[in-house]
Amino acid sequence: MNQTPELNDLNTPISFFKDKVKRFVNKRNWTKYHTPKNLVQAINCEAGELSQLLLFKDYKKEDILGDKILLTNISDEIADVFIYLISLINLLDLDLSQIFKKKMEKNKKKYNITEFNNGMYYKK
């Protein structure tokens, strides 16, 4: 019997998401709407929907994990942000692993361990 394993973060490469989103968009003929500006604005809209779920609430992690509906709603909005982000990555033909690696190296220098080793946290 040949069973496909359940997708999870340990067995799913980024290329899977890029391909899946690209096919979804192409099959609907939505590429004409996927300009850089539209995709950045869509990311912001979805991030706003995520933010709205927590607006004027002081949920702790345990509150969210204990509320199945809230956790589902938050998960859905995280997925929406991710999907539009993948669309932007596809449009600009970026390699997420490479840009992640480069930016993490920049962040290591910007927030160097000598200066940020005692719990200090501020935007530079």
Tokens for 70?
């809230």
Minimal CB distance to Mg ion: which residue? 80
Query: What residue ranges bind Mg ion (CB under 5 A)?
Result: 46, 49, 80
**What residues contact 92, with CB distance under 8 A and at least 6 apart?**
36
Cα 17 to Cα 82: distance, rounded to the nearest angstrom: 9
- At residue 64, the 3 state secondary structure works out as helix
CA gap 91, 86 in Å, rounded: 9
Select 42 or 89, whichever has its Cβ closest to Mg ion. Answer: 42
Closer residue to Mg ion in complex, CB, 78/99: 78
- CB of residue 77 to Mg ion, shortest distance in Å: 5
Query: Whose Cβ is closer to Mg ion: residue 22's or residue 80's?
Result: 80
Read off the amino acid at residue 82: F
We find the least distance from the C-beta atom of residue 76 to Mg ion, in angstroms, to be 6
Contact in structure between 43 and 85 (CB atoms under 8 Å): yes
Taking the complex as a whole, the smallest distance from the CB of residue 42 to Mg ion amounts, in Å, to 9
Side chain identity at residue 8, one-letter code: N
Cβ closest to Mg ion, residue 70 vs residue 111: 70
Least Å from the CB of residue 82 to Mg ion? 11
